[in-house]
Amino acid sequence: MAIGSIIFISGGVRSGKSAYAEQLVMSAGAVRAVYLASGQAHDSEMAERIMRHQEDRSGHGWIAIEQPVDMEKALPKIHSGDAILWDCVTTWLANELYEGWERGIPCAERPGCMEAKWLELQATINAMRNQAQLLVIVSNEVMDDFVRDETYQRWLGKIHKWFAGEAEQAIEMENGIAYRRK
């Protein structure tokens, strides 16, 4: 099978990224449309948001895979020829970067921890690309925000550059309008 295409979509919060990505995946003509979700319900607001997203997708042909960390664990659930929407990178990064915070030792503070997670993610994306016909990756653009966490922004910048480099298309969403950057 040919290597699947990657489309990377970034933009501000509530800019229309997910809706645009959903349209791309649903129009790909794949046998299965897979929604790879990274959200974790740490509070009632997020639990409600996740439930609302699940209800919105149910009945519309989506196969949902909830994978907030350890993205490689989603690989056995991916079928040849799938069209995958991963929503979203920023949530995954926060989950992985701060994994272990409740024990006082977040990954961000453990030498080599995030580097290992980053290498595993790259290998996972390449494996998904070898299985799927299309991989649409959604991420929030937070680089223009007031710097609150330099470690988070440094990692996000690195990840965004890699995805944009690997992608056949890089789209920036602004106010519901898709601007093709690559």
> Which pair of structure tokens corresponds to residue 109?
């503070």
| Token reading at 49 | 């948001």
Which residue matches tokens 């990505």? 21
Q: pTM of whole model > 0.85?
A: yes
Residue 159: helix, strand or coil by DSSP? helix
- Return the pLDDT at 1: 47
Task: Using alpha carbons, select from 136, 170, 138 the residue that is nearest to residue 28.
Answer: 136
How do residues 82-105 score in pLDDT, each as one tens digit? 999 999 999 999 999 999 988 999
Topology annotation, domain 5-180: Rossmann fold (3.40.50)
| 158, two tokens | 């690195």
SS3 content of the chain, % helix, strand, coil (to 5): 45, 20, 35
Specify the pLDDT at position 150.
Answer: 87
d(CA 55, CA 60): 10
Q: What is the pLDDT of residue 145?
A: 61
Whole-number pLDDT of residue 47? 59
Residue with tokens 């890699």: 162
Residue 89, pLDDT score: 96
- Helix (H) and strand (E) counts in the chain: 5, 7
- Residue identified by tokens 């639990």 is 47
What is the pLDDT at residue 48?
A: 73
Every domain of the chain and the residues it spans: 5-180
For the chain, list residues with pLDDT below 50.
1
